[in-house]
């Protein structure tokens, strides 16, 4: 019985921490309205280049989403990815 309570407390702690992280991420995006424009420009250029090389649209969508998302996260953290 005590183990169930400990597990419940740990689970609630994880939920609260996750909710706080989501709230912080939303607040950061609201502070930087140009995020969508920069991401869209990066994504469109990447997708255009990828599909022109003959890759499928689905593959390019996943590749460009990951690449542009990583670039944006690195820029926010001040990390140089060497692109």
Residues 27 and 37 in one domain: no
**Cα-based torsion angle of the residue sequence 56, 57, 63, 65 in order, rounded to the nearest 10 degrees:** 180
Residues 48 and 81 in one domain: yes
Question: Within 13 Å, how many C-alpha atoms sit on residue 33's CB side?
Answer: 0
Q: What string of pLDDT tens digits covers the 83 residues of the chain?
A: 678 888 989 999 999 888 888 777 666 656 566 778 888 999 999 999 999 999 999 999 999 999 998 888 887 777 777 65
Residues 16 and 56 in one domain: no
Domains held by the chain: number? 2
């Amino acid at each position: 019985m005590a183990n169930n309570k400990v597990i419940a407390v740990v689970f609630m702690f994880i939920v609260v921490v996750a909710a706080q992280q989501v709230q912080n991420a939303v607040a950061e995006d609201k502070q930087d309205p140009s995020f969508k424009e920069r991401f869209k420009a990066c994504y469109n250029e990447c997708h255009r280049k990828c599909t022109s090389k003959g890759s499928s649209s689905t593959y390019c969508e996943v590749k460009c989403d990951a690449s542009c998302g990583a670039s944006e996260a690195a820029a926010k953290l001040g990390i140089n990815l060497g692109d």
